[in-house]
Amino acid sequence: TLDAGYDSAAAFVAARLRALGIAPAGDSGGYFQHYTVISSRLDTARAGGQVAGGRALRYGEDFVVQSFLQPGRHAGPVVYVSHGIRAPGAGIDPYRGLEIRGAWLLVDGGTGLPPGTTREDLGRPGVDWFTVSDEAKRLGALGILTLPSEGMLRGWNSFRNRVPVGRDLTPAVGRAYAAYPLPRVTLSAGTAAALAAGTPLATALADTTAPSPSPFALDRELTIDLVAETTTYRPYNVVGLVEGSDPARAGEWISVASHLDGAVGRAVTPEGDSIYNAADDNASGSAVDLSVAEALMRGPRPARSVLLIWDSGEEIGLWGSRHLAYNASERIVAHFNNDMLGRTRAPGTEIEAEADLAGPMEVWVSGPSVLSTVMERALERVRREHDWVTLTPKHDAPGVSFFYPRTDAAPFMEMGIPVIQFFTGLHADYHRQGDESTKLDIPKMTGAARMIYAILWHLAEDPERPRWDRPVPAELPFVVPKR
> Per-residue pLDDT tens for 362-421?
999 999 999 999 999 999 999 999 999 999 999 888 778 888 888 999 999 999 999 999
What integer pLDDT is reported at residue 116 of this predicted model? 84
More confident call, 470 vs 374:
374
Interatomic CA distance for residues 365 and 10, integer angstroms: 27
pTM (2 decimals)? Answer: 0.92
Check pLDDT > 90 for residue 36.
Answer: yes
What integer pLDDT is reported at residue 483 of this predicted model? 63
Topology agreement, domain 4-35+234-461 and domain 39-231: no
Name the DSSP letter for residue 220: E
Check pLDDT > 70 for residue 473.
Answer: no
What integer pLDDT is reported at residue 266 of this predicted model? 85
Strands 305-311 and 37-42, bridge-based pairing: unpaired
Largest CA-CA distance found in the chain, in angstroms, rounded: 77
* Alpha helices (H) along 106-149: 119-122, 132-139
Tell which residue, 79, 386, 405, 418, has the closest CA to residue 220: 79
Q: Average pLDDT in the 48-71 region?
A: 95
What integer pLDDT is reported at residue 348 of this predicted model? 78
Per-domain residue ranges of the chain: 4-35+234-461, 39-231
Note the CATH number of domain 4-35+234-461. 3.40.630.10
> Per-residue pLDDT tens for 118-172?
888 899 888 899 999 999 999 999 999 999 998 899 999 999 999 999 999 999 9
User: Integer distance in angstroms from the first to the last C-alpha of the chain?
Assistant: 31
CB 104 within 8 A of CB 57: no
Q: Which residues contact residue 316 at a Cβ distance below 8 angstroms, ignoring those fewer than 6 apart?
A: 1, 167, 261
> Per-residue pLDDT tens for 277-323?
999 999 999 999 999 999 999 999 999 999 999 999 999 999 999 99
What integer pLDDT is reported at residue 110 of this predicted model? 76
CB 335 within 8 A of CB 395: no
Fold of 39-231: Glucose Oxidase; domain 1 (3.50.30)
What integer pLDDT is reported at residue 92 of this predicted model? 95
What integer pLDDT is reported at residue 310 of this predicted model? 99
> Per-residue pLDDT tens for 216-229?
999 999 999 999 99
Name the DSSP letter for residue 282: I
